[in-house]
Amino acid sequence: MKPVTLIIRAVLIGAPLLLAGCGETAGTRATTGGLIGAGGGAALGAVTGVGPLAGALVGGGAGAAGGALTAHH
């Protein structure tokens, strides 16, 4: 199995478990979403050749936006 495929599968399987710990308020969801996104983005950026910094910035921004825009039910 290619390393990229392995990482993508690990992220897709692990993301629901990580996201289960997200916070009650929009601020805490944005923070945890940003941190999770930055970590995943850095890993994927390093593997794909984009670079870990660029991947972390994109992933962190997307995770923070997703966390802030979602409602807790």
| pLDDT 10s digits, 34-48 | 988 998 899 889 888
- Taking the C-alpha atoms of residue 51 and residue 47, their distance in angstroms, rounded to an integer, is 8
- The domain containing residue 40 runs over which residues? 24-68
Judge whether 41 lies within some domain: yes
- What pLDDT is attached to residue 20? 61
- Total structural domains within the chain: 1
CA gyration radius, the chain: 13
Judge whether 4 lies within some domain: no
Residues of the chain with pLDDT under 70: 1, 16-22, 72-73
Q: Which structure tokens are listed for 47? A: 């593997």
- What pLDDT is attached to residue 58? 93
Judge whether 59 lies within some domain: yes
Judge whether 48 lies within some domain: yes
Judge whether 8 lies within some domain: no
- Taking the C-alpha atoms of residue 14 and residue 58, their distance in angstroms, rounded to an integer, is 19
Judge whether 31 lies within some domain: yes
- What pLDDT is attached to residue 54? 93
- What pLDDT is attached to residue 29? 85
- What pLDDT is attached to residue 27? 87
Judge whether 16 lies within some domain: no
